[in-house]
């Protein structure tokens, strides 16, 4: 049966079914996009922050402070650099 032969109620029913399918597809598309955004953008940022926090920078800061406190003696600086 073609669309021209349908009654008004049947045409409205077809339109409503179509709109329902389109609405469900839009929701599915949004959910997939949200999941991809979380996996591609958010998780790498969170992982990177935890990765940076896992580094121990206390040794580097101690060496920097001792180099900064040196009175300009090149031998002392070379000795500290060799310790690194």
Query: Can you give the residue ranges of every domain in the chain?
Result: 1-53, 56-84
Size (the chain), residues: 84
Q: How many helices (H) and strands (E) does the chain have?
A: 4, 0
pLDDT of residue 75: 67
CB atoms within 10 A of CB 76: 14
Q: How much is the pLDDT for 74?
A: 67
For the chain, which ranges sit under pLDDT 50? none
Q: Is 70 in contact with 76 (CB distance < 8 Å)?
A: yes
pTM of the model: 0.59
């Amino acid at each position: 049966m073609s669309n021209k032969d349908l009654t008004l109620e049947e045409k409205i029913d077809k339109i409503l079914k179509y709109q329902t399918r389109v609405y469900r597809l839009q929701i599915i598309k949004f959910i997939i996009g949200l999941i991809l955004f979380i996996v591609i953008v958010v998780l790498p940022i969170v992982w990177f922050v935890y990765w940076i926090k896992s580094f121990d920078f206390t040794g580097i800061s101690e060496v920097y402070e001792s180099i900064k406190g040196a009175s300009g003696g090149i031998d002392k600086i070379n000795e500290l650099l060799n310790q690194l």
